[in-house]
Amino acid sequence: MSVSSSKDKGPAGKGRAALQAARAAWGKAGVRREAAVHAEHTGDAAGASESMTPAESAGADTRGALGGGAGTQARSRQHGGGDAETHGLRSGDADTEPHGSRDGGRDAETYNVQAQRTTAGTQNLRGVETGTEAEGVRDRARSTPTSGKEDPALNSGPAEAGVEAHRMRGHGANGQVNGAGVQAQSAWDRGTGSKMPGGRVGSPGLVAKERSSMGGSGIVKPHGTGAQVHSSPGSDAGAQADSAGAAAAAGGQARAESAAALAPAAARTKSRKRLLVVASVSAAAAAVIGLAAAASWVRGLDISKLSHPLPEPGFMLDVNGERVAQLSSSKLVPVPLTQVPENLRNAVIAVEDRRFYEHKGFDLWSISRALLRDLQAGSMKEGGSTITQQLAKNLFLESDKTLTRKIKELGYAIKINFTYSKDEILELYLNSIYMGEGRYGVEGAAQQYFGKSVKDLTLEECALLAGLPKAPTTYSPMKNPDKSLERRNLVLSLMKEQSFISEAAYAQAVAKPIKLSPPKAEDSLQGRHAHYVDYVMDEAQRLYGFTEEQVLTMGLRIYTGMDLKVQQAMEQVYADDSLFPASQGDQPVQSGAVVVDHKTGLIKGIVGGRGKAVYRGFNRATELKRQPGSSFKPLAVYGPALERGYTPESVLYDGELDIGGYKPRDWDGRTRGQVSLQEAVMRSWNIPAVWLLNEIGIDAGLDYVKRAGITLPAADRTLSLALGGLSEGVSPLQMAQAYGSIANQGVLHQAHAIVKITTKDGQKLVEAAPQQTTVTSPANAYVMTTLLQGVLSPSGTGQAAALEGRPTAGKTGTTQLPATPEFQAIGTNGSKDAWFAGFTPELTAAVWVGYDKTDKTHYLTTGSSVPATLFREIMTRSLQGVPVSGFPVPEEIRRAQEEARKKAEEKAAKEREERERREDEAKKREEEREKARGKAAEKQEELRQKIEDWLGGNRDE
């Protein structure tokens, strides 16, 4: 292959002529091209041409050598896009570079390739047939050069009129066009204009090849009387776009149809541009106005509270209005940031706000992520709040998740960020954030959990505290140590990920267990009556919607039904270990008790367990659920039986019983054939209770229990209901409330602790309005009371609960150990739960005793005597000094008793009258007999006298 160069300015001029001819053709078709084409022509530099064989000319994919010849550059700008370069490959030809921008696209270079004419005397081309159609790949075209060899005989004239540049869209397709009249077609796709300028533009056989963004090469191959343009993907440089153009030898016809289709698109493009400009200007103006309004609103926000962020504790008051407990177990102790360990600062930043020192109070990335998740969830669940936003929310806003609150939070955060430095914001946050267990601030939390100052915390302790603000109760190491450990380790991993700690420090810290130290003694009212306070907080949340944070920080005054005398009596009893059985192993015997005023439903005292009370710990008096055993019989069996006409004297069956495979046994293993209802209650026989429930129907028992305030699941619709064999169980609070209905003549008052809640200034926020329900008639309740009084007699099972000199009623209950191999050897010598529920005319109480976890080494052997004894001790101390009174007698019973008394008196009177009558009759008979005897004596005396007189007369004679 030889290369020669010559100085020639002709091609540049011919290229201009070809361009003018093409424009003339477009004009004849009545089309205005919207693409602005600017041609810059230079022609001084020498070019270089490369000689190729006809075979090479047909399919070569190499770029021709460019000399220093004259260059012509044409630019076409659309959509701010890229360039396309077209180089004429002929010695001395112009170097033409049309630049077309489409969609921000890249550069495309197009090289004119000329093929040689055949010797048949026609316009057929060796490389591109007349009518050649080239296909190009669309979108972001960046082409690679393709060179070919031109026929020198064709370099002799301008392009003919009617040349149409058409670039077909495609990807790896072959294009073949046959016929007279060569057409150069260029497809204008999305505003891309690619013309066919260059040396000898429009000469027959001219092929322009464009490489586009899909990569690959374009190859022109001869095929019969026409040519195929092959485009194949695969190159990293981008897809290829092939454009082929050739000028007709004479009378080429322009394709006006394709050109005419461009006019409406151009008009629409201009319209869209105008609308876009108007919309942009309007949006910019609205944004400026909105920003000005937002800035004014932010400036007006009051953040002065940041200078004194101390939460104000509330107080719980007893039934007499006296303060008995503080509703915050500590007060905030602020510390300067310099005393907060760097590990704690870094840990908080790592888990709460990793871009804290970079953003301006809000993090657009976090907000966008949270917004996306909220949209996916269909509710405001994600927060996306920075430390600054959390500080604003905690001090100035409610905790509800609404868009309004989020906007306010954002405004406060912006103002805080402009008012305080980042270190000041972090210090305020660390001193005011709620850390659980009633503690605010890192110093208080360090004292609460580790018993030391925050400055002395270790890395793993810092990580634990940093994990608490997200959910203080959920991640509390006192309540949920497993979750707390998991959260701590997550914080440590984030610190390692963000290069706050090394891999070695992470490995060492994550391997250490959580070690807590007991909190120190508090002030006089702090930590008092923890079990009662816990229930008050639960009730405030459950019934009135207060959050724990509000209860502890808003300075509320919560008036309760607590009787300090009763509460202290209960706490004293539970502090006396001699009243409880010795614990087996490392697990103590536990217990829970509740005392209520059955006439009002007010809870007088609560003890939720033995040992030191833990703030917000498990409350066995209100949260525990265990099977109640025989203490359930008055509610599930005997109560509804009295409503159906049974009396204490009714005879019940007490023999072998098998009802559908259920075979109850009496606790002494014996049967008596028949017993009275009164005896069955007093001695707690099981068979008569099950037999009686079967007689009246299980639904009757379930209905009575529900009226007594205990709703049971469907699984409890069995005959084991008679013996308290429940699937879930009940709490001491539920049992005390239910028994209170018996003590209160059949009327149940809903048990509650809170009377009212006010602000510190006395403004009433809520007031209790407890419901009352009629469980049974006063007469039936009174009869049940008399039956339960018999349980405490010397012959009853609950004699240990009897109060000296004070009427008392109640019922014992025990539950068997599970029928599993673990307890098979123990048999009936142990029990799982022991109960006593009872009442005096003044108070009702329920006591549970058992182990938190029953196993073969932890079970009860004392039966129900322990809870009965605890009941007696609690009631005796609670009622000390209270005058003795009897159980109220219902009017119905009173009338019945009066009628019975009258009948008895009448009967006695009649009997007395009859007796007196009989006595009178006897006296009369005796008098008559006496008279008869006197008359007989007189006659006898008279006869004797006569005899004596006769005998004396005879003697005289």
Give the residue carrying structure tokens 């052997």.
Answer: 861
Q: What angle do CA 145, 147, 148 make, to 5 degrees?
A: 160
Q: Note down the domain range covering 334.
A: 330-511
Q: Do 590 and 854 contact (CB within 8 A), yes or no?
A: no
Residue with the bigger pLDDT between 560 and 38: it is 560
**Predicted pLDDT at 783:** 96
**Predicted pLDDT at 307:** 65
**Predicted pLDDT at 239:** 33
**Predicted pLDDT at 305:** 63
Torsion angles phi and psi, residue 106, rounded to 5 = -105, 180
Lowest mean pLDDT among 5-19, 634-648, 915-929: 5-19
* Pair of tokens at residue 848: 């549970």
Q: How confident is the model over 353-394, as pLDDT tens digits?
A: 999 999 888 877 766 666 666 666 555 444 558 998 888 887
Catalytic (active site) residue 916: no
787-798 as b/e: b if 16+ CB within 10 A: bbbbbbeeebbb
Distance CA 100, CA 132 (A): 22
β strands within 623-738, DSSP E: 651-654, 673-676
Asked whether residue 229 carries a pLDDT value surpassing 50, the answer given is no
**Predicted pLDDT at 838:** 97
Domain presence at residue 684: yes
**Predicted pLDDT at 60:** 34
Q: Clarify whether residues 493 and 641 are in a common domain.
A: no
Asked whether residue 159 carries a pLDDT value surpassing 70, the answer given is no
CATH of the domain at 431: 1.10.3810.10
Domain presence at residue 559: no
Neighbours of 579 (CB within 10 A): 15
**Predicted pLDDT at 408:** 81
**Predicted pLDDT at 197:** 36
> pLDDT-based confidence at 512, cuts 50/70/90?
very high
Residues in the chain: 957
Q: Clarify whether residues 506 and 636 are in a common domain.
A: no
At which of 699, 720, 741 does a domain end?
720
Q: How many CA atoms lie within 13 A of 688 on its CB side?
A: 27
Q: Do 637 and 692 contact (CB within 8 A), yes or no?
A: yes
Domain presence at residue 745: no
Tell which residue, 632, 850, 600, 608, has the closest CA to residue 723: 632
Asked whether residue 760 carries a pLDDT value surpassing 80, the answer given is yes
Q: How confident is the model over 448-481, as pLDDT tens digits?
A: 899 899 999 999 999 999 999 999 999 999 989 9
| pTM for the model | 0.53
Average pLDDT over residues 223-245: 37
**Predicted pLDDT at 364:** 75
Asked whether residue 132 carries a pLDDT value surpassing 80, the answer given is no
Asked whether residue 204 carries a pLDDT value surpassing 90, the answer given is no
Domain presence at residue 699: yes
> pLDDT-based confidence at 77, cuts 50/70/90?
very low
Distance CA 941, CA 936 (A): 8
CATH of the domain at 655: 3.40.710.10
β strands within 397-487, DSSP E: 434-436, 439-440
Domain presence at residue 487: yes
Tell which residue, 347, 329, 611, 326, has the closest CA to residue 445: 329
Share of the chain above pLDDT 70, in %: 67
Catalytic (active site) residue 804: no
> pLDDT-based confidence at 840, cuts 50/70/90?
very high
Q: Which of 85, 160, 352, 443 is catalytic?
A: 352
Domain presence at residue 740: no
Average pLDDT over residues 274-296: 79
Distance CA 657, CA 665 (A): 8
Q: Do 817 and 832 contact (CB within 8 A), yes or no?
A: yes
**Predicted pLDDT at 577:** 92
Instruction: Mention every residue, 6+ apart, whose C-beta is less than 8 A from residue 27.
Output: none
Q: Clarify whether residues 505 and 640 are in a common domain.
A: no
Average pLDDT over residues 736-752: 97
Q: Which of 49, 143, 231, 630 is catalytic?
A: 630
Q: How confident is the model over 857-905, as pLDDT tens digits?
A: 888 988 899 999 999 999 999 999 999 999 999 888 888 888 888 888 8
**Predicted pLDDT at 829:** 79
At which of 661, 687, 720 does a domain end?
720
Give the CA distances from residue 510 to residues 506, 679, 952, in Å, rounded to whole numbers and listed in that order.
Answer: 6, 64, 146
**Predicted pLDDT at 663:** 94
Q: Do 226 and 176 contact (CB within 8 A), yes or no?
A: yes
Contacts by residues 712-719 (CB-CB < 8 Å, ≥ 24 positions apart):
718/662, 719/659, 719/660, 719/662, 719/664, 719/690, 719/693, 719/694
**Predicted pLDDT at 376:** 63
Asked whether residue 130 carries a pLDDT value surpassing 50, the answer given is no
**Predicted pLDDT at 519:** 58
Q: How confident is the model over 570-610, as pLDDT tens digits?
A: 999 999 999 999 887 778 999 999 999 999 999 999 999 99
Q: 3-state class of 37 per DSSP?
A: strand
**Predicted pLDDT at 827:** 73
Residue with the bigger pLDDT between 564 and 137: it is 564
Domain presence at residue 453: yes
Q: How confident is the model over 664-700, as pLDDT tens digits?
A: 999 888 999 999 999 999 999 999 999 999 999 999 9
Average pLDDT over residues 197-221: 36
Q: What is the DSSP string of 815-878?
A: EEPPSSGGGTTTGGG-EEEEEEEEE-SS-EEEEEEE-SS-BTTB-BSSTTHHHHHHHHHHHHHH
Distance CA 48, CA 643 (A): 120
Highest mean pLDDT pick, 13-22, 398-407, 745-754: 745-754
Q: Find residue 558's DSSP bridge partners.
A: 316, 757
Contacts by residues 725-731 (CB-CB < 8 Å, ≥ 24 positions apart):
725/627, 725/815, 726/627, 726/628, 726/632, 728/625, 729/624, 729/625, 729/626, 729/627, 729/628, 730/625, 730/626, 730/628, 730/632, 731/592, 731/621, 731/622, 731/623, 731/624, 731/625
Domain count for the chain: 2
Within 300-363, residue ranges assigned H as helices are 342-352
At which of 720, 744, 769 does a domain end?
720
Asked whether residue 32 carries a pLDDT value surpassing 60, the answer given is no
Distance CA 566, CA 572 (A): 10
Asked whether residue 637 carries a pLDDT value surpassing 90, the answer given is yes
Burial class (CB in 10 A: 0-12, 13-18, 19+), 111: buried
Distance CA 344, CA 465 (A): 8
Name the average pLDDT for the chain: 75
**Predicted pLDDT at 271:** 80
Q: How confident is the model over 133-151, as pLDDT tens digits?
A: 333 333 333 333 333 333 4
Q: 3-state class of 914 per DSSP?
A: helix
Domain presence at residue 744: no
Residue with the bigger pLDDT between 242 and 811: it is 811
